[in-house]
Structure 1
Amino acid sequence: SAPSPRAALTSKPEARRGQASAAPKKAPPQRIAAAPRPAPPPAPVAVAAPEPQGSETYRDYGVNPVEDPAKDRLSTFAIDVDTASYAIARRKILEGALPPYQAVRAEEFLNYFDYGYAPPAAGPFAVHLAAAPSPFTVGHHLVRVAVQGKRVPVKDRTPVHLVYLVDTSGSMQSPDKIELAKKSLRMLTESLKPGDTVALCTYAGSVREVLAPTGVESKGKILAAIADLTAGGSTAMASGIDLAYDLAARTLVRGHVNRVVVLSDGDANVGPTSHDEILETIKRAKDKGITLSTIGFGQGNYKDLMMEQLANQGDGNYAYIDSEAQARRVFSEQVGGMLQVIARDVKIQVEFDPDLVKTYRLIGYENRNVADRDFRNDKVDAGEIGAGHSVTALYDVELKPSALRGGATPVVVRLRHKAPLGANAAEETVVRMAPGAIAPTFDAAPADLRFASAVAGFSEILRHSPHARSWRLSDVETIARGAASSKGDQQEFIGLVRRAGALAGGRKDAVIAKAAD
């Protein structure tokens, strides 16, 4: 499908997740970002990122504009813990191509990494604020808002009832699809505990119930059913989702986690496959207590847009599996976030004091923006946090000199969320940023903030953000090297940045420029 224009550059999107409100937020504020995109300055090396390969589909959500807090002091968005965009980009880069700019969602790059935030002493999550001078734009600061969910020991985890819905159509035949999906399901099954149940169904030209709801005590029976899966035929995704929800209804228990897990390349080409029909089915099931997560595989015909929207509407998370190591990360090392919900409909509202802040811009979360007035509207859907999940958001901010003096509190963060079984949300004013949270220099900032800055810079360059026209991959690599921990994913990131620089023209100081629209 043709890429959509980056129209969001000139307006702050209203609620794009769940039930968007139709009424205007207020008189449209003036934007600092102008509608016409200025011509980019000369770059040392300029190459255009490839458009989506084959029949792959991605959606361009645009880039958040610069805001004047004197006109709009509130930034409101829904929690997002998806990570698929980073894994998709990694696969493209490792296979020798820059990712399509539409495939890059900055928040999914940021939230791929574990920054080691301290867990909450009480309650479902802790919030950590920090800021430092921007390493990319002179006179700007980067402000980090981090949310860390509590961790829940396996022995204390709520029972889960899972339905594996596996795409077995012909498009799933390659080893990096059906075989990797089977390995993923084996890992997920091994992560379950007594009291959990699993059902398995497939969809291709027709749908099939492979395994009725089965207790994990009969693990051998579950693993045997997974082993017998083969791919072939066309794709009837909507019918498969209907069957999965029928199976989920058989084991629906209030207070337990009842979840459908879709494993697919997202290519639905037979049956009632309109997005609206499928999303409406998912919404009705979510309202009954059955959530949905999506796990993507493969490339060439990959439908990122479909997989992302399914998870968003289903109050689940969206991951992409490009290797057995990634499968182990999602289904073994970090599986607690999928299996244990600690808070629902989580919204963040960040308030910038216009006396202390000249401008601000949220990096990413363009399709998670919530109208400011809907922060306290509990009917408006938002994000789900699982056990151990962390969420990172970065703002590019221009502070006024008064913000750096003693006693200034330029930022206030509020959270609103529902308990896993609650209908009404609770709100708390979490923290006011104190002057001590603003590092005097970038090098003096905490390592986690510095590494997150590198990740944000990488995503901004790859998605051709007009705010990053002069940012350099060599700077991103230098920042990452100085801040990365010994963790494998952070070390891998450094290599990806270096590879991207080579793909952009063979020079580490390359600036990636987008071809003319």
Structure 2
Amino acid sequence: MNRYGIHGKRGRRGTTALLALTLAGGVLLTGCGGGDDSASGAKDTTVDSRRRGSAPMPAPDRPRGEGEQRYDGDTATGGTGKNGDSREIAPDPDYLSTFALDVDTASYGYARRTLAEGRLPDPATVRPEEFVNSFRQDYERPGGDGFSVTVDGARTDDGDWSLVRVGLATRSAERQGERPPAALTFVIDISGSMGEPGRLDLAREALGTMTDRLRDDDSVALVTFSAEAETVLPMTRLGDHRDRVHDAVDSLEPTDSTNLGAGVETGYETAVEGRRGGVTNRVVLVSDALANTGDTDADTILERIATERREHSITLFGVGVGSDYGDALMERLADKGDGHTAYVSTPEDAREVFCEQLPTHIELTARDAKAQVAFDPETVAEFRLVGYDNRRVADEDFRDDRVDGGEVGPGHTVTALYAVRTRPGADGHLATATVRWLDPDSRDPHEESGVVETDALDGSVWEAGRGLRVTATAAYFADALRSSEGDRSSLPGAPGLAELSERADGLADRTEDEDVRELAEAIEEADRLT
């Protein structure tokens, strides 16, 4: 095992894919205000991908090394891991990496909130892919449904190690009048802890604004829960009934304990009763996810969500709030419900989530989307996917369309970052990235691929285009927070927090991007606390 704990990947990777509906970037509902689903800043020029045609194309056959052993993420081949647990031997290596698409952002938002309060986040709540996917990218957009594939990369400051970025993008978001209607069931936590500033007050304000900006043919239901759950407003077509929705939202007041299980169950019952054909049906859970009353068993709650998802195609969007936040439970709930999570701590966060991010999922452009990256053993010695620990898919399940992937809408981007060590003197093909998805209506499978060559890695990551530099900065930041308890950095070329803070500050100045400025401020605060 090398000093970074990074190795190639084993062939069989876990069980069924956990599901994700992506949220990052994009204008999601124009009625909620302006915005742009393209990235800010200049187009990356460090590396151009070689895109293949739109016809389905198989990924390369699984290549085999010669007498080499590789590792699956954090799992070493043989020996003992950093926590002292024994590892499963896998003498037959491969160079494939497969995962379900996902761009949750809650982990990054919660980390920023924690740092702003003068505390380092718990390393267990830091998910690097959510840091990476919290920033807009300027990947080329496809003309129709499906994906474009962009693969680029650059050298790190450490020997033969590089960072390789795989970027997937859907078409631009359509204007509000062209999207299908929505039936949204909001399940709102009104337990005593939600009285803390930045919790229920934010939800009330954002829901009120969203109510004014949804369309007349959209429908809204409202369920509250504390010690018990109650349907405050059954599914109501907005039309001439916006005042009823406003009155229900304005009536929300914190009280009692948190019976999350009852809230989820009643929420799905209300969503099923009000389910409309030909529209997109969603349950939106707003909570600090600190269940302390009633059914607090996560597996029972999760099974309820899975059942309704399978039988009625009703998916879950989890919105986390509060300085004390049940991050792990909210993430599991959203995964089981074919959904995703976001975290809000400011009025700006709340408006973005409810007025921009949420409505994008009203329309789907792809179902069960999965990505597979095939590294060339002639040029690649080792690699590691950064994050996506809960999204891994067995390599052989990539083209098994019975295995769940992520549901994706227009205006979305998905970014995956790899640490890659090239072989000495490597020249030629480096990797091929393929995304596979099902048409939302016909369920016909489609694929799109992009490739990258070794000569694309000539430049330094710190001299790359805006998108790759932001991606690298966010990944290094997450890596530093995960290593804050004394663990050795797992990413090659990782700068110390002080150097990373300087680089992020300079990047924020050059891009004049408010999101990058907030990243720089969070890194500066983390450096101060360590």
Q: Once the 2 structures are TM-superposed, how far is the Cα of residue 421 of structure 1 from its aligned partner? A: 3.9
Residue by residue, what CA displacement relative to the aligned partner does 1:163-183 show, whole Å, maximum 9, x if unpaired? Answer: 011111222222222111212
- The answer to whether residue 444 in structure 2 is matched with residue 419 in structure 1 is no
CA contact under 8 A between 2:145 and 2:365: conserved in structure 1?
Answer: no
Q: Secondary structure at the match of 1:334?
A: helix
SS in 1 for 2:198: helix
Query: Match for 2:321: what amino acid?
Result: F
Partner of 1:145: 166
Question: Is contact 2:383–2:420 with CA below 8 Å preserved after alignment?
Answer: yes
Structure 1 residues 252 and 97: alpha-carbon distance in aligned structure 2, compared to 1, 3 A threshold: same
2 CA distance for matches of 1:360 and 1:425?
32
Q: What is the match of residue 114 of structure 2?
A: 92
Q: Give the 3 Å change call, closer, same or farther, for CA 191–312 of structure 1 in structure 2.
A: farther
For 1:503, the equivalent position in structure 2 comes to: 529
Segment of structure 1 superposing worse, 237-246 or 478-487:
478-487
Superposed, which structure 2 residues align to 1:254-265 within 5 Å? 254-265=277-288
Identity, % of aligned pairs? 35
Residues 71-113 of structure 1: per-residue CA shift (max 9 Å, x gap) = 1210001111110000110011111111111110000000111
Letter in 2 for 1:488: E
The answer to whether the 8 A contact 1:160-1:197 is kept is yes
Q: Decide whether the 8 Å contact of 1:10 with 1:35 is kept in 2.
A: no
Matches within 5 A, 1:425-440: 426-435=445-454, 437-440=456-459
Contact (CA 8 Å) 1:133, 1:440: kept in 2 or not? yes
Once the two structures are superposed, residues 205-239 of structure 1 have per-residue CA deviations (whole angstroms, 9 ceiling, x without a partner) of: 22111111111222221111100011112222222
Asked whether the 8 Å contact 1:78–1:347 carries over to 2, the reply is yes
Instruction: Indicate the residue corresponding to 1:476 in structure 2.
Output: 500
Q: Cα deviation per residue 1:411-453 (whole Å; 9 max; x = unaligned)?
A: 111111123345x451414112245643433354222101110
Aligned to 1:109: 131
- Work out whether residues 17 and 99 of structure 2, in 8 Å CA contact, stay in contact via their aligned partners in 1: no
**Structure 1 residue ranges without an equivalent (≥5):** 1-6, 20-25, 40-61, 505-517
Q: Does 1:448 align with 2:467?
A: yes
Show CA shifts across 1:107-147 (max 9, x none): 00001111232322233321111010014x33211100011
Which residues of structure 2 form unaligned runs of 5+? 20-63
- Contact map agreement 1:81 1:385 (CA 8 A) in 2: no
Are 1:181 and 1:297, in contact at CA under 8 Å, matched by a contact in 2? no
Q: Give the TM-score taking structure 2 as reference length.
A: 0.80
Post-superposition Cα deviations, 1:147-206, rounded to whole Å, max 9, x if no partner, equal 112222211111110001111122222222211121232233234212110011111122
- Cα distance change on mapping 1:263 and 1:90 into 2, 3 Å: same
Alignment partner of 1:157 is 2:200:
no
Asked if structure 2 preserves the Cα contact closer than 8 Å seen for 1:279 and 1:310, the reply is: yes
SS of residue in 1 equivalent to 2:199: helix
Match of 1:46 in 2: none
Which structure carries more relative contact order (alpha carbon 8 Å, separation 6+)?
A: 2
Q: Is 1:317 the counterpart of 2:340 in the alignment?
A: yes
Q: Deviations over 1:466-495 (max 9, x none)?
A: 324963113322433444422211111111
CA RMSD, 1 decimal: 2.9
Q: Give the aligned residue type for 2:192.
A: G
Change (3 A) 1:421 1:190: farther
- Do 1:254 and 1:289's aligned partners in 2 also have CA atoms closer than 8 Å? no
Equivalent of residue 121 in structure 1, options 134, 143, 157: 143
Moved over 4 A (4+): 7-13
State the Cα distance separating 1:353 from its structure 2 match: 0.7
Report how many residues are paired: 460
* Change in 2 beyond 3 A, CA 1:286/1:36: closer
Q: What residue in structure 2 maps to residue 79 of structure 1?
A: 101
| Alignment match, 1:331 | 354
1:337 is displaced (CA, Å) by 2.9
Give how far 1:294 is off.
Answer: 0.6
